[in-house]
Amino acid sequence: MNPQTASTPGSTALVTGATAGLGAEFARQLAEQGHRVVLVARDAGRLAATAAELENSYGTAAETIAADLTDDAGIAAVVARLSDPARPVEILVNNAGIGLLRPFEDNDIAEEKKHLKLHVETAMELSHAALQGMLGRQSGRIINVASVAAFLPRGTYSAAKAWLLSFSRSANMAYAARGVKVTAVCPGFTHTEFHDRMGMDKTATPRWMWLEARQVVSEGLADNAKGKAVSIPSKRYKVLTSVARVLPSKLVAGPARRAK
Ligand SMILES: NC(=O)c1ccc[n+]([C@@H]2O[C@H](COP(=O)([O-])OP(=O)(O)OC[C@H]3O[C@@H](n4cnc5c(N)ncnc54)[C@H](OP(=O)(O)O)[C@@H]3O)[C@@H](O)[C@H]2O)c1
């Protein structure tokens, strides 16, 4: 039997936060490409519905793990799946994420710790688990969903996403020669449930700044397949981030988020 590689249809992709927004779209496009999928999120009912939809639409196997990725037991369940040598996972998408509406000093520190854990510690732990098998097989793909916020001084969300960006750059350099591609996908504002969940007023952001999940994911997957360390979907955000990198922090920090 030929070994599966991360690009072979039929290989397995695990996507966190796979029931809504960007994660659901990653799962859909990967299933469409012929990959088996493992879907992770907290809501078991929604996971089952998403899995059934993918199996019906693309005839691919869809497994689910109901897990809270801010919780050690939830992380351990996903680590166990990633570490099972009998069922290798060739593609990992660290996507689950949340936003906090209020400024840092006004947030409960427990909320901030969960936010940091979900974006950084969980992604680090899942990447570490997945890499063990990927490096052994000399084949694998890891996508870390960061944000254009990683390039901006915008609170703890930016700081967490900057960690993912920096980690992806160094991991891609370290592991490319060993067959593993690591990419930070850095979307700008994208229509998903993210802003409604955090209670943000979406009308305060101009329409031209909004992207569709379908475009973000297809560009992110294509850039990862090419071995790029950083993917910034859409021309407009490529230009905006290039400009942001040379402007003083005060100019790019922007106004505080407005609640609904
Ligand atoms: N939308 C944007 O404008 C934008 C821009 C840049 C970057 N991003 C990043 O893109 C990623 C995906 O966000 P999205 O916009 O697609 O958000 P979304 O539509 O709100 O979807 C979030 C997904 O993550 C899951 N999730 C949330 N908390 C979780 C937890 N503690 N444990 C396990 N799963 C959890 C949710 O399912 P359950 O609630 O069932 O767990 C859901 O499937 C995030 O990392 C976000 O920071 C978003």
| Helix (H/G/I), strand (E/B), else coil: 97 | coil
| Helix (H/G/I), strand (E/B), else coil: 134 | helix
Task: Please report whether residue 136 resides in a domain.
Answer: yes
Q: Which domain covers residue 133, as residue numbers?
A: 8-252
Q: Which atom of ligand 1 is nearest to the CA of 192?
A: 19
Q: Number of helices and strands (H, E) in the chain? A: 10, 7
Catalytic residue among 58, 157, 175, 237: 157
Q: What whole-number distance in Å separates Cα of residue 73 and Cα of residue 67?
A: 8
The model's pTM is 0.95
Q: What whole-number distance in Å separates Cα of residue 246 and Cα of residue 97?
A: 28
Task: Please report whether residue 75 resides in a domain.
Answer: yes
Compute, in angstroms, the gap from residue 7 CA to the centroid of ligand 1.
25
Distances in Å between the Cα of 111 and the Cα atoms of 45, 104, 105, 149 are 25, 10, 11, 19
Task: Please report whether residue 128 resides in a domain.
Answer: yes
Number of CB atoms found within 10 A of residue 105's CB: 5
Task: Please report whether residue 144 resides in a domain.
Answer: yes
Domain count, the chain: 1
Q: Is 58 a catalytic residue?
A: no
How open is the CA angle 260-144-216, to the nearest 5 degrees? 60
pLDDT, mean of residues 40-61: 98
pLDDT, mean of residues 120-135: 98
pLDDT, mean of residues 109-125: 98
Task: Please report whether residue 119 resides in a domain.
Answer: yes
Give me the phi and psi of 87, to 5 degrees please.
-135, 70
Give the number of C-alpha atoms closer than 13 A to the C-alpha of residue 183, restricted to the C-beta side: 25
Task: Please report whether residue 39 resides in a domain.
Answer: yes
Angle between helices 122-137 and 155-175 (to 10 degrees): 10
Which tens digits make up the pLDDT trace of 196-241? 999 998 988 999 999 999 999 999 999 999 999 999 999 999 999 9
Residue 1 is predicted with a pLDDT of: 38
For residue 123, the Cα-to-chain-centroid distance in whole angstroms is: 9
Task: Name which residue sits closest to atom 7 of ligand 1, judged by CA.
Answer: 147
Q: What whole-number distance in Å separates Cα of residue 94 and Cα of residue 14?
A: 8
- Lining residues, ligand 1, CB within 6 Å: 16-23, 41-43, 46, 68-70, 95-98, 118, 145, 147, 187, 189-190, 192-194, 197
Q: Which atom of ligand 1 is nearest to the CA of 22?
A: 16
Tell me which of 47, 98, 118, 165 to substitute to probe ligand 1's pocket, judged by most ligand atoms within 8 Å of the beta carbon. 98
Question: Can you give the CATH number for the domain in which 130 is found?
Answer: 3.40.50.720
Task: Please report whether residue 3 resides in a domain.
Answer: no
Which tens digits make up the pLDDT trace of 52-110? 999 999 999 999 999 999 999 999 999 999 999 999 999 999 999 999 999 999 999 99
pLDDT, mean of residues 183-205: 95
Decide if 6 contacts 140 (C-beta within 8 A): yes
For residue 27, the Cα-to-chain-centroid distance in whole angstroms is: 11
| Reported confidence tier of residue 37, pLDDT bands at 50, 70, 90 | very high
Task: Please report whether residue 259 resides in a domain.
Answer: no
Exposed/middle/buried for residue 12 (C-beta within 10 Å: 0-12, 13-18, 19+)? buried
Decide if 26 contacts 19 (C-beta within 8 A): no
